[in-house]
Structure 1
């Protein structure tokens, strides 16, 4: 996740709301969002934003979690709407079926939809001089809904961080980059070998994350993280990135499980460099179901 507009780590919110955050080891669960609130998740964000269970066509049971981002929200995660798990999870398979925020009526809107794991309490548990940032992301920019951003952080400090990232256009089957970074302004260090698998992906014809529900997931282990999407017609699991790089580049700390949508005023896709506008009306992301298996 690009840390655009952050004035606090999400882990700090967890610490405030939960006096003793649960550690990993929670049982598997599936949240189908048939009602709200959830027994597994709580919400926070801008005061005008809401989360609710609503009727929705295209879902497995006729209902979905709706994350409403208000018109003209403050930029950054804190001005958005987030669902975060009360428990923390270490390793396992994280899946969801969702539809990202749609900006078709305002193409230069800057909105991010994210599905990810995250924990950062400021501790340097790996002893490398930077605060640990355990984070594994799926993210989409609503100005370019055919493109998926896959990112994995291990550290994030005030002047430096460590992350690996793959950006791909699923509609065309194009891998745009697979890189290692130590800062947002630094150059991409291209990844090769076991950090760059697969080297090609098939196109998913007509893919648009904001107009239809798709099932996404990743499996996180100590030595490997694999991201995928399920083909909506064939049921085939399409591997987007099968990262088998150094363990030092894979998060190790138990993390919360989150879904959110928020306004970014400084992260734009290359095809739309002016896509930083705040939404001029309420925008919505929808989640059919969310699941975790240890």
Structure 2
């Protein structure tokens, strides 16, 4: 089990993360310890999509913690790619998350996701349970407009969503962050994982105050309880379109780049 750590990707390697498949960095997998094209004085983890790669979350670049993580506070500073001018209907997902599937206990997943066809929208939630009976709780937020699109639970990917209310729906409104665009600059995002609840948040880009995106409590529904692996990935999706644009499923035509400044885990 990992103790608390901060990986700032300053050097060409990592003591706490491994690459998701071959472990060999290439132009279309990952590079660690290179200068950010957005902030030249910042060293980053860089992921680039291979335009010829197949669709699916296991196909694109990914890093995975070498050991398990569990209850605690997770945070990262990252900048998603800007694809709207080059390919506005691209189908591509940035995932910042925990994930582990246990044979006995099932799935443990907590996630932040951005579909880069519209980087004003944030997806947060969890998956728990076993195949055939997977439980989802999730919230979709258009942060530039201050609009919570939905806060739901459902069973399996194609299940009928049920709106969450009360303590499972806090806050009920979120003020807009003017001009929020996850591809325009680096932002700090995080989630706090406890046995009794989950909280997703980010730091306001001007005030550095904590903006609570979802403070989920009052129910055990959807809360993972067994240890997981800490991850970041970037992949092509052909069947998950961004909210409001059903055409955004295209194979990437360019090597869009995800930039990650650091990832932190504080064990509780």
With the length of structure 1 as denominator, give the TM-score of the two structures.
0.85
Q: Give distance in 1, aligned partners of 2:38 and 2:242.
A: 28
Q: Give distance in 2, aligned partners of 1:245 and 1:283.
A: 40
Q: In the alignment, which of 75, 79, 87 is matched to residue 106 of structure 1?
A: 87
Q: In the alignment, which of 257, 271, 290 is matched to residue 244 of structure 2?
A: 271
For residues 9-68 of structure 1, give each alpha carbon's deviation from its aligned partner in whole angstroms, at most 9, with x where no partner exists.
Answer: xxxxxxxxxxxxxxx3x2211111111211110112588722112212655952111011
Q: Give distance in 1, aligned partners of 2:47 and 2:229.
A: 18
Shift of 1:193: 0.7
The number of equivalent residue pairs is 262
SS in 2 for 1:195: helix
Q: In the alignment, which of 166, 170, 173 is matched to residue 143 of structure 2?
A: 170
* 1:160 and 2:141 are equivalent in the alignment: no
Q: Is the 8 A contact 1:59 1:213 kept in 2?
A: no
Q: Is the 8 A contact 1:101 1:261 kept in 2?
A: no
Q: Give distance in 2, aligned partners of 1:67 and 1:140.
A: 14
| 1:124-273 correspondence to structure 2 within 5 Å | 125=105, 132-157=106-131, 159-273=132-246
Q: Which has the higher helix share?
A: 1
For residues 147-179 of structure 1, give each alpha carbon's deviation from its aligned partner in whole angstroms, at most 9, with x where no partner exists.
Answer: 00011111140x331110000101011000000
For residues 224-276 of structure 1, give each alpha carbon's deviation from its aligned partner in whole angstroms, at most 9, with x where no partner exists.
Answer: 11000101111111000000032242000111100010000000023211111
Q: Which runs of 4+ in 1 moved over 3 A?
A: 45-48, 57-61
Q: Give distance in 2, aligned partners of 1:57 and 1:265.
A: 28
With the length of structure 2 as denominator, give the TM-score of the two structures.
0.93
Q: Is the 8 A contact 2:29 2:60 kept in 1?
A: no
Q: Give distance in 2, aligned partners of 1:29 and 1:146.
A: 29
* Residue in 2 that maps onto 1:91: 71
